Chains A and B, each alone.
Chain A
């Protein structure tokens, strides 16, 4: 009996010992990060989380920002909005972070009014246009929006269309903020280009079957289809399309594009055309990719390949560091004087910031919170992701979208 109590007592002491806050280290700036490592989007989320963490590890090991280190506080919110909100509260109230790196569309949108009130600049992996084109916006995107991406693809389709009739395009999406984001912009832009949007099909993110939707696409004789999903649904669509013998060419959003898709869909993935705002792992001539490969060899010796979200994480972390660097310069490198407002100002003065070719130079203005304005198109060839085009500038944003209308 005595033993049991003793064990319990020691256990409690141990726990409290662990829970006691670590003394504040001098010369650091706290940045919060909300990741999904083990939730429904964890398959790409963990690459992203590693990208962010590796960047700051590497930065801090190389002297930080003029000697000031980034203290990254991160949490795994498992793609649950209430958990993202409580994590956010914890970061802002307890940890006193100055800025946050986020992840999903749902949670970033849920926080978009809170960050304005708390003056927390926020850069996330959601490229939803709802986040940027709103008044008093504190959100930043590393690249362009989903709407921009679908426009780029439509333009590419139009430019490569040789036949005499208008090209027929189908849109495939899911019922989430992310899934529906490009629908309205795509339809509007297609009308402008003279493209016929012949079909819109709803395929759930976790669909294991898309036969009925694809049969409709087949019936409507779509020449192209644009998929706004992630790996799993995209793979399902490609496999079912092959099974049904569709001749439609499938194109898709960034989050459905990667080696994982080739793994999941097998030969059906060949010829798939994806939007890629970042450099990809196979582009060995890009300086940033060489650096990432070196860092991965050092930090994660077992990992041989990184999905594009890893680059997203790295780029987001780098842009954040750059904004903090500018903010620090205005207060004589005194980290205690850096505020969220200063970092926001830092973001807005970033101009032609180069991240070793991982994206084209990043610039922000007060009005435009989208970073790099160019994307590439990549394809899958024999299970490998290979670039099809060089950097293409995304078409300009129409006025109504800038005003936050769908």
Chain B
């Protein structure tokens, strides 16, 4: 990158591909890490719960970003896949009596296979057509959850126990924060590294031009299915965490709006970027909270503004997505890069 600090040179390929390249960056990453680890010390339960919701959203969005941002397969079914993970985990723990620690990865795999099944059409269809095919996944999965009552308890939902180690229950916000944090670190690390591997490059090749990729020797079917597999695995993990965090799940948690929210996260954050996913997930999860706080505080001055701002929340959401598509198609991640470049290059903008 052009904005690499002066004096830092790559002398080996290994160095060229390092994630944390400078000592400065490493230092700040450690500080950041410690700040997050000690978060619960200075955050109240409400902020912790926001952090937890965001953490789960990041994991779910990361999966979608691998599928859509990296491999170029548009999916409108992420919400339903998260639902599959949630229900799989809930059923494994309540019906089969498995421990959460077994159910979590198993929910990931079950969702991955379900996702892969819906990924099969991706060989023949792409773009908008695939989006509609994944929309079908959303509808079919929602329908199944509602109607397979003997398994899912239909619209009454399932009560899910919190995770346990020995006699310790992960039922408080704080304990769940650490649980999500560990999973999140694994998820982000894996995603970040995936980008640098053969698989990640194959994904990118497919996204950029699948015919060219095939000519280069990329097995399209295999890699497209793999993208669905990885993406749904993430969704399954996010779903499992959601189920055990909320402790009750109903089909209403996994509707099409959830899928759209996830799509918005990766568009606003930045397609194909790990950091972008994180920014996007934070942005979309906290936007309604922010607007709520704004409405609440303005409400004490202008009594009716609460209703108006509340009503405009969807409007603001839509407006933000449109504005991002027009002015910042590469998302928040790109804007952040621009800001960094600005400071590094200043006062010479070239």
Contacts and interface: CB of A to CB of B under 8 A. Distances in A.
Interface of A: 18-19, 22, 37-38, 46, 74-76, 78, 80-83, 85-87, 89-90, 92-94, 106, 109-110, 112-114, 117, 130, 175-177, 179-181, 406
Nearest to A35: B310
Among the interface residues B171, B293, B296, B310, which one has the most CB atoms of the partner chain A within 10 A? Answer: B310
A191 to B, nearest CB: 19
Nearest to A21: B297
Nearest to A42: B311
20 contacts: A18-B298, A38-B314, A76-B306, A78-B288, A81-B250, A85-B49, A85-B53, A86-B289, A89-B45, A90-B289, A93-B45, A106-B250, A109-B250, A110-B248, A110-B253, A114-B247, A175-B155, A176-B155, A179-B155, A406-B156
Contacts of B193: none
Contacts of B249: 110
B49 A38 contact: no
Given A19-B293, A86-B53, 7 more contacts: A74-B306, A76-B307, A80-B257, A81-B250, A86-B49, A110-B157, A181-B155
A149 to B, nearest CB: 17
A20 to B, nearest CB: 8
Interface in B142-177: 143, 146-147, 154-157, 159, 171, 173
B155 A87 contact: no
A219 B288 CA distance: 48
Nearest to A129: B156
A81 B252 contact: yes
Q: Say which size band chain B's interface belongs to.
A: 35 or more
A92 B294 CA distance: 19
A22 B157 CA distance: 39
A279 to B, nearest CB: 26
Given A38-B311, A89-B49, A177 B292 contact: no
A306 to B, nearest CB: 16
A18 B289 contact: no
A6 B292 CA distance: 26
Contacts of B248: 109-110, 112-113
A86 to B, nearest CB: 6
Contacts of B50: 86, 89
Contacts of A113: 159, 247-248
Interface of B: 44-46, 49-50, 53, 143, 146-147, 154-157, 159, 171, 173, 246-253, 257, 288-289, 292-298, 300-301, 306-307, 310-311, 313-314
B298 A109 contact: no
A94 B310 contact: no
A167 to B, nearest CB: 27
A87 B310 contact: no
Contacts of B46: 89-90, 93-94
Interface secondary structure of A, over-half rule = helix
A70 B289 CA distance: 24
A87 B292 contact: yes
Contacts of A19: 293, 297
Nearest to A130: B156
B146 A175 contact: yes
A12 B253 CA distance: 36
A110 B292 contact: no
A124 to B, nearest CB: 15
A37 B155 contact: no
Cβ-closest 6 pairs across A and B: A76-B310, A106-B252, A93-B46, A93-B45, A18-B297, A89-B49
A99 B44 CA distance: 20
A356 B46 CA distance: 39
A46 B306 CA distance: 12
Given A76-B306, A130-B156, A175-B155, A81 B253 contact: yes
A406 B157 CA distance: 12
Contact of B155 (A38, A83, A177): A177
Contacts of A179: 155
Contacts of B147: 175
Contacts of A406: 156
B44 A37 contact: no
Contacts of A176: 155, 251-252
Contacts of A130: 156
B250 A177 contact: yes
B246 A85 contact: yes
Given A80-B257, A112-B248, A38 B313 contact: yes
A75 B288 CA distance: 11
Contacts of B53: 82, 85-86
